[in-house]
Amino acid sequence: MSTESSHSRIINFGAGPSALPVPVLEEAAKGLLNFQGTGIGIAEISHRSKEFTSFVENVSQLIREQLGVPPTHSILFTQGGGSAQFSAVVMNMLARYRLLHPEAKPEDVDMDYVVTGSWSQKAAEEARRLGGGNVKIVADSRGHSATGKAFDNIPPHESYKFSKDPAFIYYCENETVDGVEFSHDGSSPTSFPFHLLPQDSLVPLVADYSSSFMCRPIPRLADHAIIYAGAQKNVGPAGLTIIIVRQDCIVDVDAAVKCGAAPVPITLSYKTLFDSKSLYNTPSVLAIYMTGLVLERMKKMGGVEYYEELNRKKAGLVYDVLKEGEERGVFKPKVKARSESWMNVVFDVLGDGAERRFLEGAAQRGMSGLKGHSCECVVNGIIAGIRVSLYNAITEEQAQQLVQYCREFIEQETTA
Ligand SMILES: Cc1ncc(COP(=O)(O)O)c(C=O)c1O
């Protein structure tokens, strides 16, 4: 990429698809013309070629190494995004439960959902739509908000009511729309309550890590049955979904049908993906390639530990200026203390026309993607507000530029 074109790039604080590192984009541009010296571009090469199949294996290895994925878990790649996993999780885990309990009636099967924001709510709705068991909302942030309607907190540990033997327990680690995230400090009241889970060595715990995958280490990774994420926030372009799945959850879904489970579409079956090494059908070759380049770069930079420190700093800077703005009556954070996301910082700009002024000023300084999630957000006349997404590719310097602008804005609003 020429210097001119990289200089003309703006800072993209969008929530996804989102910023990717410029060196990766430059490398990918070369790969589009000639993948690893094959003379064929990455978007043109066969997904069954030895060059590409070994590339896929390396991508898997890069995730395994950096996150410390144990040998009990496989790493699978697929398409369909987080939304397809809302369905795949339900179908595969109900098939697993059926094989373990062939006599169970659907009314006896519980699917436990922890609802802390729009995405876990959507996942629970999909489970309800698919049927095959009872969707139980075992904790809900809204009940702990001032209005009874806001996803602005992680519920207190004492409020969780897990079922005794659920088909699975589902949570979303970082709620991208609402900016609510579980603390990674196990002693915090806003951490995920691992200690309250059924005492079984194979707890069927499922986590949506779509917007926090690879931004820092995953707490208690080995205690999860499934962790999944779309690539398009921290690690690549849209089109690739990564699933880390414990081997007991890769079940013969057709055998489960014989015991009364619903058939699982072949491309949603984890066993299909596992048996075919994630190459049952044509995968999203370009997205896998670019994700591989991002992961290689991450490794060189120091892995998830490096990004944890970087992301801690970036989030700290932005939350600090938010606090300054709050004290001056300019900004209002939407999320309660200790439930705030590192990746998606959400707040309101107070005053008539102030949000528009904030966004216009940001645009003039070459910053975009700051408008909050727009669908279904006009609740009780409240607009979406601002959302700053601080994924891995956002540098500390870029976060500083935003902070600098926020300070100027606070001054401007309070002296006008
Ligand atoms: C936390 C979370 N889960 C699920 C999804 C849905 O992902 P997709 O659009 O890839 O289906 C998103 C999308 O932004 C998300 O942020």
Summarised one tens digit per residue, pLDDT across range 4-51 is: 455 689 999 999 999 999 999 999 999 999 999 999 999 999 999 999
Best residue among 83, 118, 374 to mutate for probing ligand 1's pocket (most ligand atoms within 8 Å of CB) is 83
Q: How confident is the model at residue 1 (pLDDT cuts 50, 70, 90)?
A: very low
User: Is residue 82 within 6 Å of ligand 1 at its C-beta?
Assistant: yes
CA of 131 to the centre of ligand 1 (A): 21
Region of 176 please: left (phi>0), alpha (psi -120 to 50) or beta.
alpha
Atom 7 of ligand 1, residue of closest alpha carbon: 82
Residue 180 has pLDDT above 70, yes or no: yes
Q: Mean of the pLDDT values across residues 205-216?
A: 98
Q: Tell me the C-alpha to C-alpha distance, in Å, between residue 359 and each of 251, 349, 406.
A: 49, 10, 11
CA of 291 to the centre of ligand 1 (A): 17
Q: How confident is the model at residue 2 (pLDDT cuts 50, 70, 90)?
A: very low
The pair of structure tokens assigned to 208 is: 């949506």
User: Is residue 230 within 6 Å of ligand 1 at its C-beta?
Assistant: yes
Q: Closest by alpha carbon to 224, among 248, 240, 241, 258?
A: 248
pLDDT score for 373:
80
pLDDT score for 210:
98
Domains and CATH numbers, the chain: 50-298 (3.40.640.10), 303-415 (3.90.1150.10)
Residue 164 has pLDDT above 50, yes or no: yes
Kindly state the helix (H) or strand (E) to which residue 134 belongs, with its residue range.
strand 134-140
Mean residue pLDDT across the chain? 95
Which atom in ligand 1 lies closest to the alpha carbon of residue 85?
Answer: 11
Residue 302 has pLDDT above 70, yes or no: yes
User: Is residue 83 within 6 Å of ligand 1 at its C-beta?
Assistant: yes
Q: Mean of the pLDDT values across residues 375-381?
A: 47
Share of the chain above pLDDT 70, in %: 96
Decide: 340 and 117 in contact? Cβ < 8 Å. no
Which carries the bigger pLDDT value, residue 382 or residue 50?
A: 50
CA of 51 to the centre of ligand 1 (A): 30
